[in-house]
Amino acid sequence: MTAREALTHPWLTVRVQIALGAIFVAAALPKIADPPSFAHMIYNYRLLPGALVNITALLMPWVELLAGLALILGVWKRSARWLIGLMLAVFMVAITINLLRDNAIDCGCFDVSAANLTHEQRIRDMWMVLIRDAGMLLMVAQLWWAEKRQKLVVGG
């Protein structure tokens, strides 16, 4: 078995799909439970106009939850994968902009309570979030690659 075959093997693909879905479900639940705190987190990014902060804080966690559930259950996989990839790209751009501004913020990814951290600790955490999001984007890429390869094989 070649490395390409191993990386696109259905055994791996199913596990990546479920893991990615579970991560997004886990990320969505605290935000759904406490929209005001998540709105505060979004405000701290200083990227959205004030009028859009609350509706984004309400909508985004539910999109994360439904996309994550779709991946876990294996329904609407393709659209769920694209939505998750898009969200990850947006998160990475938002974190990068704030790193460039030296605006140390809590990412609000899995926990919406404000952490009692120093500026340096927050900046370090933001770098870790970037790396983590890049890793999840690789998982999305694996799903896309496996599907593409499967089509080629099925198509002959």
Partner 1 sequence: MMLKNSFVQGVLLIAVALVLALVSNGFASRTRRVVLVGYYPDALVVPPRQPDTPPPPVGVAAPAPVTTTVAQSPAPGQPPMAVETSTIARPAGATTTGGATPAPGVVVPRGASPPTTTSPAGAAAAPQVPVPAPQADPIARFTPHPDKAYVEISGDDAALLYSKGVLFLDARRTSVFEEGHIAGARSYSVWEADVDDKVNQLYEERSDPSEQNLPIVIYCSGGACEDSHMLAQKLWNIQFNNVYVYKDGFPDWQKRNGATRTGGQP
Q: Which of 27, 136, 21 has the alpha carbon at shortest distance from 89?
A: 136
**Among 58, 99, 123, 141, contact with partner 1 (rule: CB under 8 A):** 58
**Among 7, 26, 63, 72, contact with partner 1 (rule: CB under 8 A):** 63
- Does 80 bind partner 1 (CB under 8 A)? Our answer is yes
- Does 124 bind partner 1 (CB under 8 A)? Our answer is no
Quote the least distance from Cβ 83 to partner 1, whole Å. 6
Stretch that binds partner 1, among 1-9, 14-22, 74-82, 124-132 (CB under 8 A): 74-82
Q: Are 64 and 24 in contact (CB under 8 A)?
A: yes
- CA 141/CA 12 separation, integer angstroms: 13
Q: Are 133 and 95 in contact (CB under 8 A)?
A: yes
Stretch that binds partner 1, among 12-20, 75-83, 92-100, 126-134 (CB under 8 A): 75-83
- Does 35 bind partner 1 (CB under 8 A)? Our answer is yes
Helix-helix angle 50-73:10-33, to 10 degrees? 140
- CA 7/CA 112 separation, integer angstroms: 35
Q: Which of 104, 118, 130 has the alpha carbon at shortest distance from 46?
A: 104
Residue ranges binding partner 1 (CB under 8 A): 32-37, 39-40, 43, 50-51, 53-55, 57-59, 61-63, 65-67, 70, 76, 78-80, 82-83, 114
